[in-house]
Amino acid sequence: MQRASRLKRELSLLATEPPPGITCWQNQNQLDELRAQIIGGADTPYEKGIFNLEIVVPERYPFEPPKIRFLTPIYHPNIDSAGRICLDVLKLPPKGAWRPSLNISTLLTSIQLLMAEPNPDDPLMADISSEYKYNKQLFLLNAREWTEKHAGQ
């Protein structure tokens, strides 16, 4: 019951005061399955791209973090081809930084920040990470191409 009322509160807040460039909604009246969209930030290779995400809320939420993955392919060192995201707030301690005080809005904002500022030292995609570190121009070119191809309107 706690999960349902908390999710309703979070969703209504996301509907009335969404973070800039982020929308989130229920997937077909299922409270534990949400969808989100993040618009790629200005001055990033993902600029103007629309990225769809799937959010699965576990039974034990907020004591367990939601599982979030990209449905839209994205060229990024911390996001793999299955859309999984390497981000500490998406994992439970001791390896992760999830806390019950965090919410879905915070997580989506963290993902948006990760898109703008990749962490090449904790990669899911080693090849993209080394490209980001050692050939930034090629990384930016590839990321822009992927954005146009997969996330363009």
Catalytic residues: 86
Q: Which residue has the tokens 């996330």?
A: 151
DSSP classification of residue 71: S
What one-letter code names the amino acid at 75?
A: Y
* CA-based nearest residue to 76, from 140, 134, 21, 135: 140
The whole-angstrom separation of Cα 123 and Cα 108 is 19
Q: Which two tokens stand for residue 4?
A: 């349902």
* DSSP string for residues in 80-127: -TT-BB--GGGS-TTTS---TT--HHHHHHHHHHHHHS--TTS-S-HH
Q: What SS3 state is found at 15?
A: helix
